[in-house]
Amino acid sequence: MKRLAILASGSGSNAENIIRYFENHESIKVTSIVTNRKEAKVLERAKKLNVPAEYFPKKAFLEEEIVLDHLLKNADYVILAGFLLKIPQNIVDAYPDKIINIHPALLPKFGGKGMYGMNVHTAVKEQGETETGITIHFVNENYDEGAIIFQAKTAVSASDSPEDIANNIHQLEYAHFPKVIEEALL
């Protein structure tokens, strides 16, 4: 069985989608949810779906081995689904080409520090882009710079608000992220 830990800092709708996709899978299972925010809604989703969840304060990610120890005990792969901290070097080193992130834009455009959530969609709108999309990529020690695994696009119309863009992006994420993870692991 290939075990997935999902790291999320926020709502966790992608985490829930991934958990459900692999619920009855023959060789892949979500075994842990990890968050850096006590109030993250992903914790409620994990409880509802009976997936063990752990909260670690930011300090633990940046200065201690405790998170790496937890991951090594529970996961063969690490999935980032709305995780807002940079992955520390000790975890990157322990999981070479085994950490997968989803970014809500067509990297390398609209990536890097500070480019997350609505910031991305607002920037896409303000730049007058006619398309945007998702990027699923392996994670290295720099924000949003690992090898790209998959991209999907969606049109942006002049009348779209950043919220409309966000909704279109979420639909792409739900449709593709679990399948791309499955293909990357098989």
Least separation in angstroms between residue 184's CB and ligand GRF is 16
Among 2, 3, 13, 123, binds ligand GRF (CB under 6 A): 13
Q: How far apart are CA 6 and CA 100, in angstroms?
A: 10
CB 131 within 8 A of CB 140: no
Structure tokens at 115: 């480019």
> 181: exposed, middle or buried (C-beta count within 10 Å: 0-12, 13-18, 19+)?
buried
Q: How far apart are CA 68 and CA 91, in angstroms?
A: 6
Query: Could you say whether residue 168 binds ligand GRF (CB under 6 A)?
Result: no
Among 5, 8, 79, 91, binds ligand GRF (CB under 6 A): 8
104 vs 178, beta carbon nearer ligand GRF: 104
- How many other C-beta atoms are found inside a 10 Å radius of the C-beta of residue 70? 17
Q: Which of 70, 103, 121, 176 is catalytic?
A: 103
Query: Could you say whether residue 4 binds ligand GRF (CB under 6 A)?
Result: no
Length of the chain measured in residues: 186
Instruction: Decide if 103 is catalytic.
Output: yes
13 vs 122, beta carbon nearer ligand GRF: 13
Query: Could you say whether residue 82 binds ligand GRF (CB under 6 A)?
Result: yes
Least separation in angstroms between residue 13's CB and ligand GRF is 3
**In degrees, to the nearest 5, what angle opens at C-alpha 82 toward C-alphas 81 and 84?**
130
Among 7, 14, 67, 71, binds ligand GRF (CB under 6 A): 14
- Which residues have C-beta within 8 Å of that of residue 155, sequence separation ≥ 6? 130, 131
Considering only residues 84 to 123 of the shown chain, the ones binding ligand GRF according to CB under 6 A are 102-104, 117
Query: Could you say whether residue 12 binds ligand GRF (CB under 6 A)?
Result: yes
Q: How far apart are CA 113 and CA 173, in angstroms?
A: 21
Only one of the segments 10-18, 47-55, 63-71, 142-150 lies at the binding site for ligand GRF (rule: CB under 6 A); that segment is 10-18
79 DSSP β-pair partners: 6, 100
Binding site for ligand GRF (CB under 6 A): 8, 10-15, 81-82, 102-104, 117, 169, 173
Catalytic residue annotation: 103
